[in-house]
């Protein structure tokens, strides 16, 4: 059984469906927030993506303002704002303003993913780390100099991210050199979207983390992820805002009447991911029948299978068993479900089934 005291949240990326406008995708995000609020979800997250053809969610603060105006009680958060793309003061002002419209409901999740493509990274004024930063040399292997340069770049990026997090916290907490206006209406809790060194940075700053993807080991070896989470907890330094380590886990969760129907629900997203990895495009979601019938290369099939394996899908009973094991194994305090599919009605039914597993009304 799933512990009903755990928080249940939902991340909606404003995925576009074929045949609908991007404005319709954004309206769908707001309507989904209203739906899961009625279902008793604790928190609704949105994300930041730039220049991605299949995603309309590019401006978390703006989108959350629309969601805040359409809801009354559910917590609202970003998962996340990509901090290297912004000045900490501007982010603090945006979320303090949100807090004025939705007092006591605003959370600020922060990450540092690079832009989707090289042109997007240039538009975001992000520096390209160059060929030595984690890529193979022309000879087919990393040189010692290349490894040193990549390590130096990674260390500098870690320091910059930690400094930006600390500066942002100071603005929101009223301890910075510049006084924030508007003042936030109550605390705006910070979360770190963390993998690798991000876990260490969050631990050192005493911040909670949201982890997902390979770190959870769903459909693969869980041991590396468990070791990383143990390191986060071991290295955690209590802060005034967060006295003890806290982990939220995020992954695709989709429920249907049969396992086969649930596996179909993940197919449009899995096919989009496969095309992204092999063609560089991330298209809108297609109907299940179209995604199933579409030709795919062996490499695309491999990526499709990998995305499906990293999700938890099935009947309510099957999902309950797998989720209970994952939540227990990771010691997570919150599930952030991130599932999407073409059929909005089927997605709404899946959201309702998941709420029931968590004992929500």
CA distance 57 to 337: 17
Q: What distances in angstroms separate CA 79 from CA 93, 245, 268, 282, one per listed residue? A: 17, 18, 22, 19
Q: Is 30 within a domain?
A: yes
pLDDT tens digits, the chain, 361 residues: what are they?
788 899 999 999 999 999 999 999 999 999 999 999 999 999 999 999 999 999 999 999 999 999 999 999 999 999 989 999 999 999 999 999 999 999 999 999 999 987 777 888 888 888 754 433 333 223 344 455 666 777 888 899 899 999 999 999 999 999 999 999 999 888 999 999 987 889 999 999 999 999 998 788 887 888 989 999 999 999 999 999 999 999 999 999 999 999 999 999 999 999 999 999 998 889 999 999 999 999 999 999 999 999 999 999 999 999 999 999 999 999 999 999 999 999 999 999 999 999 999 999 7
Q: Is 291 within a domain?
A: no
User: By the 8 A CB rule, do 339 and 11 touch?
Assistant: no
Going 241 to 247 to 251 to 254, the CA torsion angle's sign is negative
**Amino acid 272: pLDDT:** 95
Q: Is 201 within a domain?
A: yes
Q: What is the CATH classification number for the domain harbouring 119?
A: 3.20.20.30
Q: Is 223 within a domain?
A: yes
Q: Is 72 within a domain?
A: yes
CA distance 171 to 178: 7
Q: How many domains does the chain have?
A: 1
**Amino acid 137: pLDDT:** 29
In the structure encoding, which two tokens stand for residue 181, read together?
Answer: 């206006």
Q: What distances in angstroms separate CA 104 from CA 16, 43, 86, 251, one per listed residue? A: 30, 12, 24, 26
In the three-class reduction of DSSP (H, G, I as helix; E, B as strand; rest coil), residue 191 is classed as: strand
User: By the 8 A CB rule, do 86 and 126 touch?
Assistant: no
Q: Is 135 within a domain?
A: yes
CA distance 70 to 47: 18
Which residues does residue 92 pair with via DSSP β-bridges, in sequence order? none
CA distance 26 to 140: 44
Q: Is 124 within a domain?
A: yes
Residues 6+ apart with CB under 8 A from 66: 26, 30
CA distance 131 to 247: 34
**Amino acid 291: pLDDT:** 95
Parent domain of 126: 7-253+319-339
Q: Is 294 within a domain?
A: no
CA distance 109 to 48: 11
């Amino acid at each position: 059984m799933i512990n009903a005291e755990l928080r249940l949240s939902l991340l909606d990326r404003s995925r576009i469906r074929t045949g609908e406008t991007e404005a319709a995708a954004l309206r769908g995000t707001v309507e989904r927030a209203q739906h899961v609020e009625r279902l008793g979800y604790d928190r609704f997250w949105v994300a930041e993506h730039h220049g991605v053809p299949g995603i309309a969610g590019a401006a978390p603060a703006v989108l959350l303002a629309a969601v805040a105006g359409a809801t009354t009680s559910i917590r609202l958060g970003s998962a996340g704002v990509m901090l290297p793309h912004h000045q900490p003061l501007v982010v603090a002002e945006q979320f303090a303003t949100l807090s004025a419209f939705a007092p006591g409901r605003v959370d600020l999740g922060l990450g540092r993913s690079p832009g989707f493509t090289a042109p997007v990274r240039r538009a975001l004024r992000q520096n390209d780390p160059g060929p030595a930063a984690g890529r193979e040399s022309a000879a087919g292997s990393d040189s010692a100099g290349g490894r040193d340069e990549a390590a130096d770049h990674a260390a500098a990026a870690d320091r910059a991210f930690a400094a930006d997090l600390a500066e942002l916290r100071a603005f929101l907490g009223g301890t910075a050199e510049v006084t924030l206006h508007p003042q936030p209406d109550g605390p705006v809790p910070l979360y770190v979207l963390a993998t690798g060194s991000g876990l260490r940075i969050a631990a050192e700053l005493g911040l909670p983390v949201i982890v997902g993807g390979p770190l959870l080991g769903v459909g693969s070896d869980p041991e590396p992820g468990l070791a990383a989470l143990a390191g986060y907890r071991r290295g955690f330094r209590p802060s005034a805002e967060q006295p003890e380590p806290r982990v939220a886990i995020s992954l695709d969760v989709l429920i249907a009447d049969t396992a086969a129907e649930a596996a179909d629900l993940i197919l449009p997203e899995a096919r989009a991911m496969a095309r992204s990895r092999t063609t560089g495009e991330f298209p809108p979601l297609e109907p299940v029948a179209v995604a199933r019938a579409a030709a795919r290369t062996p490499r695309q099939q491999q990526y499709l299978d990998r995305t499906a394996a990293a999700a938890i899908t099935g009947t309510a009973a099957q999902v309950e068993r797998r989720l209970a094991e994952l939540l227990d194994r990771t010691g997570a305090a919150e599930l952030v479900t991130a599932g999407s599919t073409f059929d909005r009605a089927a997605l709404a039914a899946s959201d309702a089934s998941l709420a029931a597993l968590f004992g929500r009304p």
